[in-house]
Amino acid sequence: MPRSYVPEARRRGLGRRRERIGPIVDRLASEHADARIALRFRSDLELLVSVMLSAQTTDVNVNRVTPVLFQKYRTPEDYLAVPAEELERDIYATGFFRQKTKAIRGTMHMLVKDFDGRVPTRLEELVKLPGVARKTANVVAAELGSAQGIVVDTHVRRLSQRLGLTRQDDPVKIERDLQRVVPRADWARFPHLLIWHGRRVCDARRPRCEDCVLEDLCPSSRLGSR
């Protein structure tokens, strides 16, 4: 279990989570107005494939592969029309290419069979697709304008804990805690705000509290503890 900053927030009189969440979202939105998904895509299908390929690699790496990939594969049927070995070669640079190829081909088969070739937007349908876990489903649904949950990656987990928004370490439990306090209208953009803030300011090892717009709202701030 990670250190909980919830008691520290109370000790320092920072207010309850529901009282702080509005200012947290507003300040991050102002500080990171350009916060958005880093993956590049032009269609629902390209979005789904990009997110599936991003597992265990960086968005930058995926973006190097997908321009050529998406020129070659434009429909679910295209991914099924070539031998698995060919698709493996095409996505080799993203790592875990055999597992990803199996998942992508399984997903394409299900899209054709059960969804008329279209990417579903409901979370309960997305998670039925091979290789699509809740995090991937949340990303896809949010980017398609139908956020039904809150994406929890390593940045979201770390910052949610540091901000005293959760005591949990399990992503599913963290998501539940965030859903209780983050306004539903912000479910799609909230993860992007935390991710970009985590990359630019709230580093895992050396958080730059002196440059943080949330310093006075954050129970883990090194400045506030002095």
> Residue 55 class from Cβ within 10 Å (0-12 exposed, 13-18 middle, 19+ buried)?
middle
DSSP state of 57: S
Task: Note whether 157 and 138 are within 8 A (CB).
Answer: no
Distance (Å, whole) CA 81 – CA 99: 18
Q: Is 153 a catalytic residue?
A: yes
Burial 4-29 (b: 16+ CB within 10 A, else e): ebbebbeebebeebeebbeebbebbe
Q: Is 113 a catalytic residue?
A: no
| SS3 at position 182 | coil
Task: Note whether 85 and 97 are within 8 A (CB).
Answer: no
- Give the active site residue among 135, 173, 186, 203: 135
- Give the active site residue among 44, 59, 78, 153: 153
> Residue 82 class from Cβ within 10 Å (0-12 exposed, 13-18 middle, 19+ buried)?
middle
Structure-token pair, residue 45: 């299908």
- Residues marked active site are found at 135, 153
